[in-house]
Structures are given as C-alpha cells and as structure tokens.
DNA sequence: TGAATTGTTATCGT
DNA sequence: AACGATAACAATTC
C-alpha cells in the first residue's frame, strides 16, 4: 500500500529522529526479510552513524557514515515506529526488527504481513540499476514520458506500475493519475497522442504531489497520518458517482490488479486490440485450470 | 473458509 | 533474444 507519497511522508516524519544517531544494536525477529543474511546485515549496520535519511522510489534510504546504505521497503503493511525510550512502553504490534540508538531511542520496523524488506547496500548504483525514473525528479519530463511510452507495446496501467520504468507509482496513484488524465488503463501506451502524454505527465506529477501534501493515504490501520483518502476520485469508489460527471465508477481487473475507472471520463478509444485467436484462449484457460489444480495446499 | 490485498520475481509464451 | 503477460510468493485480515 505505501507508495511514493506514503514513503516520502514516513521519511519526513523520521528524518530528524534518526539522522545523526549511531546504531548501537540491531535485533531481527524475522531474519528472512534481511539482505544480506542476519550476521552480515548486523555487522554492516551496528556502530554506524546515520548521516542522511531519504527516499528512492518506494525505498527508504539511510546513508551510513563511512559509506553504504540501510534500505527499508515497507511493501504492503510495513511501518516504522520510533520510541524515545526503548523500555518505556510495551512493544508495538507486529514488531519484526528494531534499531537501538546511542541516545536510548529505538526504531521499530513493524510488519503484520512480513512482506517488508531490510537491506544493506554498499553502493546505491545496484538499486538505481533496477529502478526507473523518479516521477518527481527533474529528469521526468514530458519528453521522457513520451519516450518511455512509445518504447513499449503495453497497456498503460501495467506500465505505470512497472518500477523499472517509472519508480514509485503504485495501484492507488496509478488509478488516480489515469483518471485525472482522462485515459483508460487499457489504452495502448505507444498509441497516445502528444496531448494525452502531456495530460498523463501532468496528472502523475500533480497526484503524487497532492499525496505528499496530504501526508499520504491512510489505508485501514496502516497509516494514521495521512488524509489523501479524502481526495481520491476513483480508487475504492466502485459504484459511487464520478465526482466529475456522476457516472458510476466501474471496478475491473487489469494485470491482476483491482482497477477503478470512470467509463465516461476515461473512454476506451484507442484500446489495445483484444487477442482473437481461439486456440490461444483455450490454451491459456487450460493452463490456468491445470495450475490451480496442481497448486499444493498451504501447510499450516 | 477462502478471497482479497501488493510489489517483486520466476517462468512461460510470442 | 527480447519483451510482455502471468502465476507464484511472501502472510494476514475479515
């Protein structure tokens, strides 16, 4: 759930609390989420001082004195909780790891679903090599977006969600961007008119900026800080009237993701041609059935 | 009870 | 071969 604006909010809320602090101890209760393994990770971060806290895409990036970076990815349900005095209160729910600092404070990494990741990286280039352009960075221009769109034969929404192309947009902000640009999520990326590319560029920048201004979107119990949910126009509004035209918002699935569109404001003109080969369709459904049958049941 | 939830990765197909 | 589509996966909540 945490996307670029939520991660940015978390970074801003914690920057003054951790920058300048030296990590005295690190404890993990779920070592599987560490890269490298527990021993190497601990060795890499303990007794190091945090010189800066920033963000790359959806990664929280803590620069460490003497080089190297401590990276945190919240994935679905990860969150940070800072305590001035480590022993003052009971641990927060789902505490999976914590960092103890030189002044007695403690930073918990909590994660109900355990999908989050903690990583030590000696060189940020490794991360940069896997991530696309920062949508709020200077290099994200209309021309840059036009180049990215024209280079790929793909539907718009999966492209927006692909972190290797544009880094930081997730499901909520993808839907909101497409709505504000008046573009259907299944529109073919390389077939947009230049005016449409311009609208999409402006929509992405505006909706992410708005998200940051509102401290992100509060989803269920995860983010108590933000109020961007009050400004979403399509996400989670299936069946409710479009705020622009009153047409009921439609929920559909695009690339296995829940997707929300206004069929009036986001016309399907220019839609990708559907796959028409019956053999291909049959083969796919056969595979799907076979896969479902063959999938082993989860062991408790 | 199982469907829904997400970003990433492995894999399959074109 | 390179790219796109999709299944699998990590666990939990309601």
Is the CB of residue A10 less than 8 Å from the CB of residue A80?
yes
Select which of A49, A75, A154, A257 is catalytic: A257
- Tell me which protein residue sits closest to nucleotide C8, measuring alpha carbon to C1': A295
Q: Stretch A164-187: mean pLDDT, rounded?
A: 91
Query: How far, in Å, CA of A119 to CA of A126, rounded?
Result: 12
Q: Is the CB of A300 under 7 A from strand C?
A: no
Query: Is A257 noted as a catalytic residue in this protein?
Result: yes
Q: Is the CB of A268 under 7 A from strand C?
A: no
The most confident of A30-39, A131-140, A286-295, by mean pLDDT: A131-140
Is the CB of residue A18 less than 8 Å from the CB of residue A107?
yes
Is the CB of residue A117 less than 8 Å from the CB of residue A72?
yes
- Tell me which protein residue sits closest to nucleotide C12, measuring alpha carbon to C1': A113
**pLDDT value of residue A94:** 85
Q: Stretch A248-253: mean pLDDT, rounded?
A: 88
Residue A281: CB atoms within 10 A of its CB come to: 12
Is the CB of residue A47 less than 8 Å from the CB of residue A85?
no
Quote the pTM value: 0.87
Proportion of chain A above pLDDT 90, given as a percent: 42
Distance set, CA A182 to CA A25, A49, A94, A176, A235 (Å): 50, 47, 40, 10, 14
Q: Is the CB of A88 under 7 A from strand C?
A: no
Query: How far, in Å, CA of A213 to CA of A28, rounded?
Result: 33
Q: Stretch A167-188: mean pLDDT, rounded?
A: 91
Q: Stretch A195-216: mean pLDDT, rounded?
A: 92
Digit-coded pLDDT (tens) for A30-48: 888 888 888 889 999 999 9
A172 membership: H or E segment, kind and range: helix A171-181
Digit-coded pLDDT (tens) for A213-230: 988 877 654 555 677 878
Per-residue pLDDT at A297 exceeds 60: no
Query: How far, in Å, CA of A60 to CA of A77, rounded?
Result: 14
- Closest nucleotide (CA of A257 to C1')? B6
Q: Is the CB of A267 under 7 A from strand C?
A: no
- Tell me which protein residue sits closest to nucleotide B7, measuring alpha carbon to C1': A75
Query: How far, in Å, CA of A151 to CA of A140, rounded?
Result: 16
**pLDDT value of residue A144:** 93
Q: Stretch A241-267: mean pLDDT, rounded?
A: 90
**pLDDT value of residue A114:** 84
The tokens for A296 are 């082993």
């Amino acid at each position: 759930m945490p996307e670029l604006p939520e991660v940015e909010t978390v970074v801003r809320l914690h920057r003054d609390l951790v920058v300048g602090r030296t990590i005295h101890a690190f404890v993990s209760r779920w070592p599987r989420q560490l890269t490298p393994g527990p021993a190497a990770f601990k060795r890499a971060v303990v007794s190091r001082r945090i010189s800066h806290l920033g963000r790359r895409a959806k990664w929280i990036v803590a620069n460490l004195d003497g080089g190297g970076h401590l990276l945190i990815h919240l994935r679905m349900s990860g969150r940070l909780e800072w305590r001035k005095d480590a022993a003052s209160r009971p641990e927060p729910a789902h505490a999976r790891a914590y960092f103890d600092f030189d002044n007695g404070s403690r930073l918990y990494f909590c994660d109900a679903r355990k999908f989050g990741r903690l990583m030590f990286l000696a060189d940020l280039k490794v991360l940069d090599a896997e991530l696309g352009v920062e949508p709020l960075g200077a290099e994200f221009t209309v021309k840059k977006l036009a180049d990215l769109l024209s280079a790929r034969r793909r539907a718009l929404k999966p492209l927006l969600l692909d972190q290797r192309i544009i880094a930081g947009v997730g499901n909520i902000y993808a839907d909101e961007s497409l709505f504000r640009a008046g573009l259907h999520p299944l529109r073919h990326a390389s077939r947009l008119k230049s005016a449409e590319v311009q609208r999409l560029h402006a929509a992405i920048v505006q909706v992410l900026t708005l998200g940051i201004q509102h401290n992100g979107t509060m989803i269920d119990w995860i983010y108590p800080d933000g109020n961007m949910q009050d400004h979403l126009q399509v996400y989670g509004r299936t069946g409710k009237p479009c705020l622009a035209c009153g047409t009921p918002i439609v929920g559909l699935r695009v690339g296995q993701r829940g997707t929300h569109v206004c069929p009036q404001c986001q016309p399907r003109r220019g839609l990708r041609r559907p796959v028409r080969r019956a053999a291909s369709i049959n083969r796919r459904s056969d595979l799907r059935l076979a896969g479902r049958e063959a999938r082993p049941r989860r062991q408790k």
